[in-house]
Structure 1
Amino acid sequence: MAHLLTRRALLTAGAGVAGAGVIGGLTARQLSRAEPDPSGPDVPAGDARLIRIASNARGREVDFWTAVPEGYGDGRGLPVCLVLHGASATPRDFGRLGLARFLTDAVRRGAPPFVLAGATGPRNSWHPSGTDDPQRMVREEVPTWCARRGFDSSRLAVWGWSTGGSGALLLAEAYPGWLRAVAAFSPAVRPGDAVFAGAGKLRGTPVGLWCGRQDNFLKDVRALTRALPERPVRAEWTDGRHNFGYWNTVIPDAFALLGGALTPPRAG
């Protein structure tokens, strides 16, 4: 594997911590700082920003959101977890969902610090479609935008939920070995689909899967665990449905896992 963290160490890390500017040659217009989070843990959000930026890969402007844990300034030098949303939200919703607060809370509980970064993708699928290529946006453009902010784009993981969860798995399959880890909440998968067909390409990439027992995707997500070439570093099924009522309960576990995966430097 390209990184030094062992699968055992990943398991241990997760268990132990319940205006205008130019970015990457593209013009970005500052929309706003993220609104105060009404949900999430009772801790402060760090530096959270939402901008509007042109994506050549998608052929349109997209929202680009970033969050740094409280106490880490502008996040310079921190690794990045890419965020792929599902149909239920876009980056404009990440503030009200409390994602920046969850990040601060995870770090205060002991997770190594990292940055969250997500851009607007399609509502129903992260597959390329015609001239709209959200995968290329995440693979090429988002890391460039992050690097222009001073984040460490050489250390990347991905997290997504619902269609964003299946999109995260597809991204890791499309670029084997590029990501330190994949965390997928209730991924919208079906046996025989592209995620299952490409599962073999996930060998060497730590995968964490979470799904609620009352979620209609549970049977298929459990089937995916059996189709993976290696056992997932996390496969958790607890009470919950296909919504943030459930996903919020497992964010701390996932963020601990992701922080641990992003921490070690790359080998030699």
Structure 2
Amino acid sequence: MDLRPGLDDDRGPELRLRRRTVLAGGVAALGLAVAARPLTMTVARRYGVATPVVPDAPAGDERLEQRRSAARGRPVDFYTAVPAGHGAGHGLPVCLVLHGGSKTPRDFPGLGLGRFLTDAVRRGAPPFALAGASGDRLGWRPGSPDDPQRMVYAELPAWCRARGFDTSRLAAWGWSMGGAGSLLLAETYPGLLRSVAAFSPAVFPGDDVFAGVAGLRRLPVGLWCGRDDGLYDSVRALERALPTAPVAGGYAAGRHNFGYWSTVVPAAFDFVARTLAR
């Protein structure tokens, strides 16, 4: 269980890099004796940039609403995003988003999730929708009376169906405790998901995710982690424990923050889109 405060420490100021540029001061902070220059995903990975790199693409139909969750015993924020050009998303499959400890659905627009989604489709990925709701600070595990895992399994798809999304095709994506929660969701409910994409999942040898890893045998898994992440060794151990090797993912310079995660969102969305396509 992810109990360490600030584990997904993505507190750097959000900046939409419409031209993907870095100010000279930011370059100096990286120790580069050069003037401001274009910031690409490759540069961001190499130098461990802490600020998210958001593509220059418009968000489509992006909404933040509230729903009453019986599983959690409280109102929760319910976020959805549809790629630009696809209206309200009727008939689109869904990638469920499980957030980490320091973010909630209220932060998703600022992280550029809707923009990443449009960018993926513009690059040729089959369209899909994103949907997420507020989880518990200590994890996406079952509990009583607060059960965020049951909310994701039983309620979130129902809210998506009411929006006209196709919930017969579901994937899950999460980072930090949300990455662990996505894997655990797939293990707990075989057949629910077509794939799981996990960024730096907060897993540790001997925990419940490791214990249930056999349940991932027939599921496409994407696994990403920064080499400078405190969870790197545990994530590599998880990769070795998987009954089938990940079909997507990788490791690069990066820490446990959205500076790194933003550089791998495009690859993850491409992976999810392929698994959700008819």
Common fold: TM-score over 0.5: yes
1:62 aligns with 2:82: no
1:112 aligns with 2:109: no
Q: 1:132-143, aligned counterparts within 5 Å?
A: 132-143=146-157
Counterpart position of 1:98: 112
- Alignment counterpart, residue 161 of structure 2, candidates 144, 147, 154: 147
Give SS of 1:47's match. Answer: strand
Letter paired with 1:115: A
1:201 aligns with 2:215: yes
- In terms of fraction of residues, the more strand-rich structure is 1
Letter paired with 1:71: G
Counterpart position of 1:87: 101
| C-alpha deviation, 1:38, in angstroms | 4.0
Aligned residues of 2:80 and 2:130 also touching (Cα < 8 A): yes
- Alignment counterpart, residue 145 of structure 2, candidates 125, 131, 142: 131
1:246 aligns with 2:254: no
| C-alpha deviation, 1:235, in angstroms | 3.5
Counterpart position of 2:199: 185
Is the radius of gyration larger for structure 1 or structure 2? 2
Structure 2, unaligned runs of 5 or more: 1-14, 18-53
Counterpart position of 2:61: 47
Aligned residues of 1:180 and 1:205 also touching (Cα < 8 A): yes
Q: Distance in 2 between matches of 1:213 and 1:38?
A: 25
Structure 1, unaligned runs of 5 or more: 1-36
Q: Distance in 2 between matches of 1:125 and 1:149?
A: 27
TM normalised by structure 1 equals 0.84
Give SS of 2:142's match. Answer: coil
- The structure 1 segments of at least 4 consecutive aligned residues displaced by more than 2 Å after TM superposition are none
Give SS of 2:121's match. Answer: helix
Can you list the C-alpha shifts for 1:126-171, whole angstroms capped at 9, x where unaligned?
A: 1122211111100110000000000001000000000000000000
Letter paired with 1:201: G
Counterpart position of 2:276: 262
Aligned residues of 1:45 and 1:100 also touching (Cα < 8 A): yes
Q: Distance in 2 between matches of 1:193 and 1:122?
A: 18
Letter paired with 2:246: P
Counterpart position of 2:182: 168
Aligned residues of 1:225 and 1:235 also touching (Cα < 8 A): no
Letter paired with 1:64: F
1:230 aligns with 2:236: no
TM normalised by structure 2 equals 0.81
Q: Percent identity, aligned pairs only?
A: 66
Can you list the C-alpha shifts for 1:31-57, whole angstroms capped at 9, x where unaligned?
A: xxxxxx946211110000000110001
Letter paired with 2:83: P
Give SS of 1:173's match. Answer: helix
Aligned residues of 2:200 and 2:226 also touching (Cα < 8 A): yes
Give SS of 2:149's match. Answer: helix
